[in-house]
Amino acid sequence: MILVTGANGFVGTALVARLAREYPAAVRAAVRRPVPRPLAGVEYAETAGLLAEADWSKALRGVDAIVHAAARVHVMRDRSTDPLAEYRRVNVEGTLALARQAAAAGVRRLVFVSSIKVNGEATSSDRPFTAEDAPLPQDPYGVSKLEAEQRLRELAEATGLELVIVRPPLVYGPGVKANFFSMMKWLRRGVPLPFGAIHNRRSLVGIDNLVDLLARCVDHPGAAGGALLVSDGEDLSTTELLRRLGTALGTPVRLIPIPARVLEFTARAAGGAKLAQRLCGSLCVDIAATRRRLAWSPPLTLDEGLRRAAEAFDK
């Protein structure tokens, strides 16, 4: 039995569907609320959420492997007086509670969906992140994911639980929300965008490619130990992304060639330094080690992933 946490989230929903095809009647989806359209052959277990005091005993019964996709993710306009404490409460203490109970229940493997934010927020265009780089998280979410990784490693060493860590960059695909959805909406409306002269390089991962890797991590003998980085295997600039997303949408793209330094200055002056970094800065990941260790390659090209996201956007 494979347990997927966060099973009604963006990644979890796609992962449960994939695993249900690969492991019929052997997938249990942990959810915090009932699923409107449950998948045939999937067992659903309602839980109290990712809390230190949560009891996972029922959800863990008979489980051999866990893919842990549940987390407190980025909160827009976070009103918490101590955001790091809130991230730690869920992403560190809640995760450790699950892992401890899993080890005690005899679970063999835990696949932890972490984040490239553990590595940091930016790279140069020719020096991508690798799994061997010293971690340098810059925000509370990234710090909490690093601390969870460290605590999970300690637990794995003490108990023999096999630990797989996967660090994705920005994930997109059918059903994506937040900034990626906003980009598609702007393009579909024909809004002129001031991103016609951005020469950065950024890695993305389509949901199908991420789910394919996570499914392989469930039982591949080479997956445990160390972190695995994942992407579509192609880096591109913000300008290129918008043009190719427009092609996927079948929409003419109207890009104004404003220099990146002007955009960065304007965004920072308006209090949007983080947004400026994501739009104008580089963040690349090297997946060569993942390819070697798991004999894996992204099954979809970036353009195929964009096409799938566009098709879902138009439904």
- Number of structural domains (the chain) is 2
Average pLDDT (38-67) is: 92
Residues known to be catalytic: 141
235, 21, 6, 244: which is closest to 114 by C-alpha?
6
Average pLDDT (27-39) is: 89
pLDDT tens digit sequence for 124-169: 878 999 999 999 999 999 999 999 999 999 999 999 999 999 999 9
How much is the pLDDT for 34? 84
Same-domain check for residues 131 and 216? yes
Question: Please, which pLDDT band fits residue 267 given cuts at 50, 70 and 90?
Answer: confident
Same-domain check for residues 71 and 145? yes
How much is the pLDDT for 248? 96
Is residue 244 classed exposed, middle or buried when 0-12, 13-18 and 19+ CB atoms within 10 A define those classes? middle
Same-domain check for residues 165 and 289? yes
Same-domain check for residues 225 and 295? yes
Q: How far is residue 16's CA from residue 11's CA, in Å, rounded to a whole number?
A: 9
Residue at 6: amino acid letter: G
In a domain, 148, yes or no: yes
Same-domain check for residues 70 and 191? no
Same-domain check for residues 153 and 165? yes
State the chain's mean pLDDT as an integer: 92
Question: Please, which pLDDT band fits residue 33 given cuts at 50, 70 and 90?
Answer: confident
Same-domain check for residues 293 and 262? no
Angle at 114 between CA 109 and CA 119, to 5 degrees: 130
pTM (2 d.p.): 0.94
The rounded Cα 203 to chain-centroid distance in angstroms is: 12
In a domain, 305, yes or no: no
Same-domain check for residues 55 and 137? yes
Backbone torsions φ then ψ of 32, nearest 5 degrees: -95, -15
In a domain, 135, yes or no: yes
Same-domain check for residues 49 and 84? yes
Same-domain check for residues 125 and 249? no
Same-domain check for residues 136 and 184? no
In a domain, 306, yes or no: no
In a domain, 311, yes or no: no
In a domain, 314, yes or no: no
How much is the pLDDT for 272? 64
Q: What is the CATH number of the domain that holds 97?
A: 3.40.50.720
Same-domain check for residues 122 and 208? yes
By residue range, what is the domain housing residue 159?
Answer: 2-173+204-234+284-300
